[in-house]
Amino acid sequence: MTDTVITGGLVVDETGERRADVVFGDDGTILAVGDDLSASRRIDAGGCIVAPGLVDLHTHLRQPGGEEAETVETGSRAAVLGGFTAVVAMPNTDPPIDSASVVREVLALGEASLCDVAVAGAITIGRKGETLAPMAEMAALGCTIFTDDGTGVQDARLMRRALEYAGDLGVRLAQHCEVDALSAGGHMNEGEWSSRLGIPGIPAEAEELMVMRDIALARLTGTHVHFQHLSTAGSVAMVAAARQAGLPVSAEAATHHFTLTDEACAAFDPIFKVNPPLRTPRDRDAVASGLADGTIDAIATDHAPHPTHRKQQPFDEAPPGMLGLETALALALTELDMEIPAVLAAMSWRPARIAGLARHGRPVAPGEPANLCVIDPEATWTVDPEASASRSRNNPYAGRELRGRVRHTVVSGEAVVLDGEALR
């Protein structure tokens, strides 16, 4: 067995901070943590943070069916460059991940990827919201989280049944909260800017009504509900109240919802079209505050690649979504009023727990899995979409200067990123 030492870094994990070297073996485990350690190979972490690898609850890898935009391999390369050692692949593929056979296909693709790829199964067959998918079969293959992401389960009775079923299976449901009857025909946030631009809007209430309903269903069933990509101040307030009441809920926020507002759509550039849409400055600030005070548990990327020719269509015809894996950490470190341990909590151990990924977000300690990222918190860099590892280029932060960058990433004892370069 060959061992490697990461030297000169400040270890930050859920247990606290300490300056220490970290030795890991290619068997995938951490062998030692302490002062002045040596090994056959050395990775420099001078001036850096050594942390558990990041975990993304919300990644669109597009495979099967969307290989023009992304593959499991290219998405995983973008992930490790962003410090992620595990991602949860969303099921809105073609065909959707709503059966054991498609779960097996994606898991097989993930075996050759650069990071661990967990698979989210669909709640309903075809994500149509009509019939429950065979959740037990998919759970038996390792699916721990289920969602119809891209759409919310509209039928309250069906969602109740799904929650009861999930409770029995010991898995978690994640909801894309959007009432179709209110969002139909909309392409951006309904408000001042949609009126100015003449673009049909999606009201905040389209999200908030489903958040309200599913909080009630969590109370009724006693089963945990995870709210995906919260975008409105009202949603954040309802989740805060639910948590104070002791209800089993958790939530995530996407990076674009705490860094951008609907004003970004002023030039009709569809690169800023997402679902749920960019909201108002008040909503953006509420999402950031919700992350800072812990109301929102996790930062997710909602990494949603699209081929350039599709994103360059007129605003109302272009698909929603933007890239996120390679910029999420730096956006959080640059834009949020949060200390690094709090950012890491929202991007590593909390999302790992929500997704049930027992080998990720773990303390940096002997015997633990060697899933690590090394972050230079003071490095500044300028976003260049053309340099992305993704197959797509729909990155809205082109030219933006960010602070904080991943220097190294280790997945199961393999250094897959060294000095900011992916090794395969």
Which residues are identified as catalytic? 302
Tokens of 164: 């009861």
39 neighbors 48 (Cβ within 8 angstroms): no
Question: CA-CA distance, 145 to 139, in Å (whole number)?
Answer: 8
Question: CA-CA distance, 354 to 352, in Å (whole number)?
Answer: 6
38 neighbors 6 (Cβ within 8 angstroms): no
User: How many CA atoms does the CB half-sphere of 86 hold within 13 Å?
Assistant: 30
Question: CA-CA distance, 370 to 144, in Å (whole number)?
Answer: 22
Write the CB contacts of 205 (distance below 8 Å, at least 6 apart in sequence).
179, 182, 234
3-state secondary structure of 267: helix
Phi, psi at 150, each rounded to 5°: 105, -25
Question: CA-CA distance, 143 to 355, in Å (whole number)?
Answer: 9
Question: CA-CA distance, 383 to 4, in Å (whole number)?
Answer: 31
The answer to whether the bond into 95 is cis (omega within 30° of 0) is yes
The answer to whether the bond into 64 is cis (omega within 30° of 0) is yes
* Measured torsion, CA atoms of residues 383, 389, 395, 398, in degrees rounded to the nearest 10: 20
